[in-house]
Structure 1
Amino acid sequence: MKHWTRIGILLATLAGLGVAVWTIGAAGLREVFGTAGRMGPTGFLLYCLWSLGVFFLLGGAWFAAAPDERGRSMPLSGWPLFAWARMVREAVSDLLPFSQLGGIIVSVRTLTAAALPSTRVHASLVVDMTTEMASQLAYTLFGLALMGSLLIGDGAGAQLRPAILGGTFVMVAIILLFFAMQRTALDFATRLAGRFVPGSIAMANIRTELSRIYAQRDRVALAFGANLAAWVASGIGAWLALRWMGTHASVWDVLALESLIFTLRSIAFIIPGALGVQEVAYAFVGPLFGLPAETALALSLAKRARDLAIGLPTLLVWQANEIRGVATGRGK
């Protein structure tokens, strides 16, 4: 990456971080920290550690989708690197006003900067995102099955029926479109690159790498399983957070609640961190599972506090690496 490009990214990130801090502060930074205080220092620390474990599952999914040319995984020492890339991706998506796309771009940059082959990083990203969305659909269907009676009846759940079912439909449509178009889009990009940039083979290499990874079904299945485990572990983390705040709820209810919250969040993927959308979703869906709106909102704020506790140091370390690159002139 060129020197001035690095400086541009650094300045944009610092500006974005300032906007993010102001936005979260305007939304109630005191309430966020107050909710974390309800968990107690030990409880909040354990919640953050549990979330770090989820990142290792997410990193393991991407790691599984990036086998070498002989179909084997890289040495296990590469696993933490993929977990770190996922942490950077989530930190950028949750705390900076760059939406999900910005987080994806930065995570790819994190891996390619570590000297991993660009074609493998990009192709494995496509496989990882596909299996992540497919596993989210499975998790959502599980939540829908648990609350089926609420959706069928005419009670309070009926008010949220259009949003929940609509969100599920949108998710299914995106997954099918993403899966159906990924190879077609790469073929089109390859032809376009060949037409306007003679000798360009980058897109063709990614297309070939993608086909090679998909041919290894055990790797794809492992990526799907790791992503599904991460969704479930995230739901269990929410259940633990409620217990540390003194609220005792059924783990099955919380898992179902979390699956539907993520479904509603997926509709607002353009909004950075789903700021505001997440809180409204918890306030409306929580009572369906026996959680008062105040308690459900407290869970959302606890997640915001965790995102700050993990995301801010992650962004600072990431930016320190970028600053080091600018200072040394690396990649001129």
Structure 2
Amino acid sequence: MDRLRWPIALATIAGLAAAVWAMHRVGFAGLLHAIDRMGWLGFLAFCAASLVLSLILGAAWWASMPGQPLKRLPLFAWARIAREGANDLLPFSQIGGLIVGARALTRLGLPGPRTYAAMVVDLTTEMASQVAVTLFGVAAIASILIDSQRHAVGPAAWVGVGLSIAMTGAFILLQRPLLKLADGLAQKMLPNAPIGFDRLHVELGSIYANKGAVALSFLLNLAGWLYAALLASMALSLIGEPIAFWRIVALESLIFALRGAAFVIPGAIGVQEAGYALLGPLVGLGPEAAVALSLIKRARDIAIGLPALLVWQALDVRRTPQSVR
């Protein structure tokens, strides 16, 4: 992280510049007007609905640790909220967010090696499910560009659906290559984890031997991506800019991909805003509404993530690990 300090700082400055450019491009007055139409009650409803997403993603992480009882699902949802809060609000890349999430669980008493291994499996299934959603998004955008007069899903988008289904089946069946991918992710992203890599490899092998658990994690992460698009649709409806859901899925899938590519920038600041400004019109969403959606999501991240990080810090300082049986 020390070596990344200056690159992250420079990338963050560039991201802030891109965010200002995107807001200036669409006009500050229009943005404020669009956001004002949501109102406080609408924003609170949006935040409440977003907590369901944390539960879905927490369930995906829980599924990645076979043997954990269902009553511990809230712990994983809480750790996921802390992880996302660190990703979105703290001045370091998503690697730091992963460590915060894992530490949130281990400080609650879950075994360290198993927790870190489950996190790597969850990250792998999340990436794979994102690929499936992005395939649909790219194909849907291609369908729109090929025939902008059509209002239904075109042939290219259905190709994306087929590829996504094929991707899902391949993921469930091809566990051994995914174990190698998980090993590589662990070595790259968790070099300073408080466990030996040999132990982590053993735990990863044990989890990947349970194909049902890995498949369930994948499907829950896939549901998470789709629910995130549903949240975006909800926000647009609240500001009076509804569009077809499949177009929202297409837009959000590409925004997710951009955020993933910009992982070194804290919260993908600027990348998200510029992405919405440039891609929104392709799916029939005005640039003002598109950037307003980005800012509403930023406000949601602060409203949920900041209190979560404060609670996590308090627990991390005061709580001593206890054995969970």
Normalising to structure 2: TM-score of the pair? 0.75
2:157 aligned partner: none
* Residue pair 2:121, 2:182 contacting (<8 A) in 1 also: no
Paired with 1:185 and 1:297, the residues of 2 have a C-alpha distance of 33
Cα deviation, residue 248, structure 1 = 1.9
Q: CA RMSD in A?
A: 3.4
1:263 aligned partner: 257
Paired with 1:211 and 1:90, the residues of 2 have a C-alpha distance of 27
1:248 aligned partner: 242
Change over 3 Å in CA distance of 1:38–1:63 after alignment to 2: same
* Residue pair 1:187, 1:204 contacting (<8 A) in 2 also: no
Normalising to structure 1: TM-score of the pair? 0.73
Change over 3 Å in CA distance of 1:47–1:187 after alignment to 2: closer
Q: What secondary structure sits across from 2:118 in the alignment? A: helix
Cα deviation, residue 202, structure 1 = 3.5
Cα deviation, residue 37, structure 1 = 3.8
Alignment of 1:21-170 (within 5 A): 36-68=35-67, 74-150=68-144
Paired with 2:221 and 2:51, the residues of 1 have a C-alpha distance of 14
Match of 2:222 among 207, 225, 228: 228
The one-letter code of the counterpart of 1:214 is Y
Cα deviation, residue 204, structure 1 = 2.5
* Residue pair 1:35, 1:302 contacting (<8 A) in 2 also: no
The one-letter code of the counterpart of 1:269 is F
Paired with 2:208 and 2:316, the residues of 1 have a C-alpha distance of 33
Cα deviation, residue 186, structure 1 = 7.0
Residues 98-151 of structure 1: per-residue CA shift (max 9 Å, x gap): 110110011111111111111110111111011000000001011112122346
The one-letter code of the counterpart of 1:116 is L
* Residue pair 1:261, 1:282 contacting (<8 A) in 2 also: yes
The one-letter code of the counterpart of 1:203 is F
1:180 aligned partner: 180
Aligned pair count reads 273
Paired with 2:185 and 2:218, the residues of 1 have a C-alpha distance of 23
Change over 3 Å in CA distance of 1:140–1:186 after alignment to 2: closer
2:155 aligned partner: none
Paired with 2:187 and 2:94, the residues of 1 have a C-alpha distance of 24
Cα deviation, residue 36, structure 1 = 4.9
* Residue pair 1:130, 1:179 contacting (<8 A) in 2 also: no
* Residue pair 1:48, 1:310 contacting (<8 A) in 2 also: yes
1:288 aligned partner: 282
* Residue pair 1:147, 1:256 contacting (<8 A) in 2 also: yes
Q: What secondary structure sits across from 2:242 in the alignment? A: coil
Change over 3 Å in CA distance of 1:316–1:38 after alignment to 2: farther
Report % sequence identity: 49
Paired with 1:282 and 1:208, the residues of 2 have a C-alpha distance of 42
The one-letter code of the counterpart of 1:48 is C
Which moves more between the two structures, 39-48 or 77-86? Answer: 39-48
* Residue pair 1:140, 1:259 contacting (<8 A) in 2 also: yes
Paired with 2:283 and 2:62, the residues of 1 have a C-alpha distance of 36
Paired with 2:195 and 2:50, the residues of 1 have a C-alpha distance of 39
Paired with 2:184 and 2:257, the residues of 1 have a C-alpha distance of 27
Paired with 1:264 and 1:289, the residues of 2 have a C-alpha distance of 16
* Residue pair 2:112, 2:195 contacting (<8 A) in 1 also: no
Q: Unpaired runs of 5+ in structure 1?
A: 1-15, 69-73, 155-171, 193-199
The one-letter code of the counterpart of 1:180 is K
2:152 aligned partner: none
Paired with 1:265 and 1:213, the residues of 2 have a C-alpha distance of 28
Moved over 4 A (4+): 30-36, 150-154, 175-179, 184-188
Greater radius of gyration (CA): 1
Change over 3 Å in CA distance of 1:323–1:207 after alignment to 2: closer
1:315 aligned partner: 309
Change over 3 Å in CA distance of 1:96–1:186 after alignment to 2: closer
Paired with 1:124 and 1:35, the residues of 2 have a C-alpha distance of 41
Q: What secondary structure sits across from 1:147 in the alignment? A: helix
Which moves more between the two structures, 58-67 or 203-212? Answer: 203-212
Match of 1:278 among 259, 272, 286: 272
